[in-house]
Amino acid sequence: MAPSKIKGKSQFQLLIDKLPATHKAKWFAGAALNSSEPAMASVLSTVLSRLNAFLDSEMEQMFYIIQHKNTFI
């Protein structure tokens, strides 16, 4: 993760600091924030993977509704 202008903190750490305490991304980050770059990269990868899965299922539902909108009337 890229270094930031604040000494001792990466840009990833600064980004996570902006989130509310109850945000799930902050829960996933947990101890990885104070560990190595590979650990932070792994957490970020997991979060993005879950976001992708969520968006995929939402898009699939939207396409289904759009394709079948005439049958719901």
Contacts of 12-21 with C-beta under 8 Å, sequence gap 24+, read 12/40, 12/44
3-state secondary structure of 10: strand
Question: pTM for this one?
Answer: 0.53
Q: Average pLDDT of each block of 10 consecutive residues along the chain (73 residues)? A: 72 85 81 75 84 93 84 60
> According to the model, what pLDDT value does residue 2 have?
61
Phi, psi of 2 (to 5 degrees): -70, 145
Which residue from 46, 48, 52, 44 is spatially nearest to 13, judged by alpha carbons? 44
> According to the model, what pLDDT value does residue 58 have?
93
Which residue from 42, 31, 37, 47 is spatially nearest to 2, judged by alpha carbons? 37
